[in-house]
Amino acid sequence: MTAEPAPARSGESARGAELFGLVEQLVPINRSWTGAGVRATLALLGRRLPLEVHEVPTGTRAFDWEVPREWNVREAWIEGPDGVRIVDVAEHNLHLVGYSIPVSERLSLQELDEHLHSLPDRPGDIPYRTSYFGETWGFCLAHELRERLPEGEYTVRIDATLADGFLTYGELFLPGETAEEILFTTHVCHPSMANDNASGLAVATVLAETLGTRRRRYGYRFLFTPGTIGSLVWLSRNEERLGRIRAGVVLACLGDPGALTWKRSRRGDTLADRVFERLLADRGGDFSIRDFTPYGYDERQFCSPGLDLPVGRLTRTPNGEYPEYHTSADDLTLVRPEALADSLAALLAFVDVLERDRTFVNLSPKGEPQLGRRGLYSATGGAPRQEGFELALLWVLNQSDGQHSLLDIAARSGLAFSTVADAADALTDVGLLAEERG
């Protein structure tokens, strides 16, 4: 978390403020796997994007799973022996364990304690806990508060419904010139935490808005789904379309001040993997690249062995590696406008590379073509070093044998992808290069 993001580019501070504003609106909503919080979140994003909202009934099969009952909470609190409320979901959504069953009871401190969750190592923070399948209830609270609870009789009330209903998710597809698709997906089920997951929702939303107004070679699909079950539902309903996905990114934790982290797909060398390896290096600043593991966010589902999609994950500091992770300390002080803007900029650079990457054939492949008479080479010779653009011309010509894409050429030459792509454009303009048509 000590690393700094790449230095801000022009226009990024306005973007940062816009993204931060969206995070501020998203944090208060009480999201869970299902219910009113998910719908409110999608409605908020739907003001900016033409989101298609899907409602999938309880009991619908999704591979090995089925859609659970829908959960909604009206109120949830504990009153102490003196009749004063100790914790109340109205004060912080994290106080209630997700998917708690309805309760209205009086119990002793000892009986209550079995239903409490706190963090001895972070005594001032409320943890985030769920129990989707436990058929139980619980409250989360600051450990320092828990330690001070007096003996006596407590009143617990959870006015919630856990009943047949729907799982809700949002989807947006921006068609492209080809049938191939790029997938961006983020979870929409974590309540009240700013980095995990309001930051991912905000960045995905502004990314979709931005791409909506561009010419697109690829189609771009955005998913806003409850974690695990939502991805499984989408995957099982769209199995016949999965072959169109050329590259995908799971988005999460994009607002903290840590460096960007690319987690490779299961295959490890898919298009998204190669693009992120190149562009994170091109951008300068710290970053890290990690191998796939079957733990984390919904890359677990996209990269299951029977699907094995070309999908990796972009975060800043990964899940579980910042101390505020899954606690009430993951709040608006953790998320920075400039980090949000830097995350968005990296994703836009990812799209730029995807859109520009092509494989070319040098039409004058024997010896170097004479660049000077085509105006692409300085007239005076003998100066010692060839830099930047002229060197990119030579690399593109040398490697364009139909086997190497511009991305390959950038990787081999160590030149920035954009310089290589500019050189390819210039060579195409003078008729020295043609796109390889497979």
Interacting residue ranges for a copy of itself, rule: CB under 8 A: 62-65, 97-98, 117, 127-134, 136, 138, 228, 231-232, 235-236, 239, 266, 293-295, 300-301, 303-308, 319-320, 325-326, 362, 364-370, 372-373, 379-386, 391, 394-395, 397-401, 413
398 preceded by cis ω (within 30°)?
no
Minimum CB distance to a copy of itself smaller for 83 or for 305: 305
What is the edge-to-edge ordering of all strands in the sheet holding 401-405? 401-405, 359-362, 433-435
- The 8 Å CB, 24+ separation contacts for 205-213 are 205/22, 205/45, 205/48, 205/49, 206/15, 206/18, 206/19, 206/22, 206/344, 207/344, 207/347, 207/348, 208/49, 208/172, 208/174, 208/184, 209/48, 209/49, 210/344, 210/348, 211/174, 211/351, 212/49, 212/174
Minimum CB distance to a copy of itself smaller for 22 or for 329: 329
DSSP letters along 168-210, please?
Answer: EEEEEEE--SSS-EEEEEEE----S-IIIIIIHHHHHHHHHHH
Least separation, in Å, of the C-beta of 167 and a copy of itself? 14
Locus of tokens 């609870």? 149
Q: How many CA atoms lie within 13 A of 397 on its CB side?
A: 21
CA angle, 360 then 361 then 365, to 5°? 145
Residue 36, amino acid: A
Minimum CB distance to a copy of itself smaller for 12 or for 125: 125
Minimum CB distance to a copy of itself smaller for 11 or for 134: 134
Least separation, in Å, of the C-beta of 138 and a copy of itself? 8
Q: Are 383 and 414 in contact (CB under 8 A)?
A: no
Residue 178, amino acid: T
Least separation, in Å, of the C-beta of 325 and a copy of itself? 6
* Residue of 262, 101, 100, 255 lying closest to 193 (CA atoms): 255
Least separation, in Å, of the C-beta of 241 and a copy of itself? 14
Least separation, in Å, of the C-beta of 221 and a copy of itself? 18
Minimum CB distance to a copy of itself smaller for 45 or for 397: 397
Least separation, in Å, of the C-beta of 132 and a copy of itself? 7
Least separation, in Å, of the C-beta of 394 and a copy of itself? 4
Q: Per DSSP, what are the bridge partners of residue 239?
A: none
Minimum CB distance to a copy of itself smaller for 13 or for 386: 386
Q: Could you give the CA distance from residue 318 to residue 322 in angstroms, rounded to a whole number?
A: 7
Coil, strand or helix: which one is 237? Answer: helix
Least separation, in Å, of the C-beta of 295 and a copy of itself? 5
Minimum CB distance to a copy of itself smaller for 347 or for 410: 410
Q: Could you give the CA distance from residue 141 to residue 89 in angstroms, rounded to a whole number?
A: 10
Minimum CB distance to a copy of itself smaller for 58 or for 398: 398
Q: Could you give the CA distance from residue 278 to residue 3 in angstroms, rounded to a whole number?
A: 19
Q: Could you give the CA distance from residue 25 to residue 202 in angstroms, rounded to a whole number?
A: 10
Least separation, in Å, of the C-beta of 347 and a copy of itself? 25
Least separation, in Å, of the C-beta of 127 and a copy of itself? 7
Minimum CB distance to a copy of itself smaller for 181 or for 196: 196
Least separation, in Å, of the C-beta of 11 and a copy of itself? 35
Q: Per DSSP, what are the bridge partners of residue 87?
A: 78
Q: Are 207 and 235 in contact (CB under 8 A)?
A: no
Minimum CB distance to a copy of itself smaller for 126 or for 353: 126
Minimum CB distance to a copy of itself smaller for 146 or for 300: 300
Q: Are 408 and 374 in contact (CB under 8 A)?
A: no
